[in-house]
Structure 1
Amino acid sequence: MSAQRSEIWREKPGTWLLNIGLGATRYVGDLNERNNLAHLRLGTAINVAASYRYSPQLTLRTEAQLYYIRGTQKDTHLAYNNLSFHSINPDIWAGVQWDFWRADNRNHVIIPYALAGVGLTYLTPKTTYKGETISLAPLHTEGVTYNRVPVVIRYGLGVPIAATERFKFHLEGAYTHVFSDYVDDVSTVYPDRSTMQPITAALSDRRLEIGEPLNPTGAQRGNSTRRDGYFVLSARLILVLITPSQRNYRRMFGR
């Protein structure tokens, strides 16, 4: 009976799966340093995906995610500029998942996979100022209006760590490249503050808060040659919803 159930729920082409993940994020952009491992500025992410096993190695996948990221120039070589942000953003993407070997390959008990896809995210950069949380995008702190729904490309690797008949547990790491340099509301140069509203001017250049003189108009504020992005390392629960064998079993026995 156990062998029969295992065969019914075996993940063959035509199988549908539900994929739920919980993980840690790390933002990559102008307000952190890639190699500053002492100050990772970690956040969190939760996601849910629907997957369809198309072939023995190829799975189609679509996913929605809510992720929290943050960054600050504190404890970096640009600490004297005093800029910071945090945001809770949604994203969606669709793509493929490719197993390195077929599931019936007896030489590999654990079969890792690669994933890649394209989607969209919605940017909501905020900061804390005088004890209040303020949304940065509507203020135009660099004097420009930027696209808040940029395209993203996601790619990564995953590995199964445990499995039962219908449940699987994976560890997955992915990087999302955002086609925008304004995930953190920082990209180019300091604008002319004299034309701004007081709150915008105060958040455009925050050096006065730490006793430093303001930057001149046109001084470098960010690095526009490199787009922003974020890593997500997640633990994932995969539920096998329905397989071709299970569908045939239900037709035969009316269950």
Structure 2
Amino acid sequence: MTLSKRIFFILFLLPFSQLGKAQSFLGAWEIGVSAGGAGYVGDLNQYNLVQVSGLNAGAFVKRNFNSYIGVRLNYNYGQIKADDANSSNEQFRERNLRFKTSLNEGSAILDFNFFDYSINDGTRRFTPYLFAGVGFINFKPTVKYEGETYRLDYLRTEGQENEYNNTALTIPFGGGLRYNYKDNWSIFTELGYRTAFTDYLDDVSGVYPVKPVYGNNPSLNLSDPSLNKPNGIGVPGTQRGDFRKRDTYLFVSVGISFTFVSSKCYSF
């Protein structure tokens, strides 16, 4: 074999040798867990986009197609709450609404890494990333007065003819940072918002009803528990909250993941 043929042969095999190395990450599976805070933006918190009011925990399984793109299936549990009594707005304090809601979310999410992030052969051990996806949320809004807890979605506090659906479509989106700190292990932190296709995460959406809903105490008006007004502040037919049609919730998390990287390569 002449020298030129040898050089050509080496150059021909070089891309395949790199492909063999890439197989260690291409198509790798990853599992992880996370925990952190949960928050909400809606009728009882209209402007603070980063207010955390509860906790969240989650787990995921992910398929990494290359060092930039991956798809994960997520499960997250969280709790959010708000109380008009803690508001800086005097009208909100007089309105005196409150809620606490548990959230169960399942979602499919596409991740995009900005850098060539790879467990074995990538050039960067650190990368920022963005994500977006689609999912569903099951929520259970409650309120506690005088030691008694009420499931608000059962009570039709705004005079609805039927109970509203407590399962809704949700659109997750956000970003984060991940770092490969040892072998197949990575740590990450992310902030993600969810647009829920419902306005009832807080049980507040429509108007004050003609016939209020009362708790076990006849003086406890769950539709209008307002302060300093003997007959309440909610004139029937007037708005209880804001005019936005969807509530938003957020998860801010830190977590750890493990990537199952195959050491099998093609040989020539």
The TM-score with structure 2 as length reference comes to 0.80
Partner of 1:211: 228
Q: Matches of residues 234-253 of structure 1 in structure 2 within 5 Å?
A: 234-240=253-259, 242-245=260-263, 248=264
Look up the match of 1:140: 156
Match 1:75 to one of 70, 75, 86 = 86
* Number of positions where the alignment pairs a residue of Structure 1 with one of Structure 2: 234
User: Between Structure 1 and Structure 2, whose CA radius of gyration is higher?
Assistant: 2
Q: Name 2:70's counterpart in structure 1.
A: 59
User: What displacement does 1:226 show?
Assistant: 3.9
Give the alignment's TM-score, normalised by structure 1.
0.83
The CA deviation at 1:36 is 8.8
Q: 1:14-70, CA deviations, whole angstroms, 9 ceiling, x for partnerless residues?
A: 111111000111111111242398xx4521000000001112311010001110110
Aligned position for 1:87: 101
Judged with a 3 Å threshold, the aligned counterparts in structure 2 of structure 1 residues 116 and 65 are, in CA distance, closer, same or farther, namely same
Identity of aligned residues (%): 27
Within 5 A, what are the aligned runs for 1:143-222? 143-144=159-160, 145-161=163-179, 163-193=181-211, 196=213, 202-207=221-226, 210-212=227-229, 213-214=231-232, 215-222=234-241
Counting only pairs closer than 5 Å after superposition, residues 112-123 of structure 1 correspond to structure 2 as: 112-123=128-139
AA aligned to 1:89 is: L
Contact 1:190/1:204 (8 A) holds in 2: yes
**Residue pair 1:168, 1:238 contacting (<8 A) in 2 also:** yes
Q: Within 2, Cα distance between the matches of 1:19 and 1:101?
A: 20
Letter matched to residue 228 of structure 2: G
Farther-moved stretch of structure 1 (55-64 vs 148-157): 55-64
* 1:44 is aligned to 2:41: no
Flag the 1:36–1:56 CA change in 2: closer, same or farther, 3 A. Answer: closer
The structure 1 segments of at least 4 consecutive aligned residues displaced by more than 3 Å after TM superposition are 7-11, 196-201
Q: What SS is found at the alignment partner of 2:221? A: helix
* 177-186 or 73-82, larger mean C-alpha shift: 73-82
More displaced stretch, 108-117 vs 57-66: 108-117
**Structure 1 letter corresponding to 2:116:** R
* Cα distance change on mapping 1:167 and 1:16 into 2, 3 Å: same
The answer to whether the 8 Å contact 2:41/2:49 transfers is: no
Aligned partner of residue 66 in structure 1, secondary structure = strand
Unaligned runs of 5+ in 1: 1-6, 250-255
Separation in structure 2 between the aligned mates of residue 159 and residue 79 of structure 1, nearest angstrom: 38
Q: 1:142 to 1:72 in 2, by over 3 A?
A: same
Aligned with 1:110 (options 121, 126, 146): 126
Is contact 2:184-2:258 (8 Å) kept?
Answer: yes
Shift of 1:211: 2.9
User: 2:36 is matched with which residue?
Assistant: 23
Cα distance in 2 for partners of 1:41, 1:137 equals 23
CA distance in 2, matches of 1:109, 1:138: 50
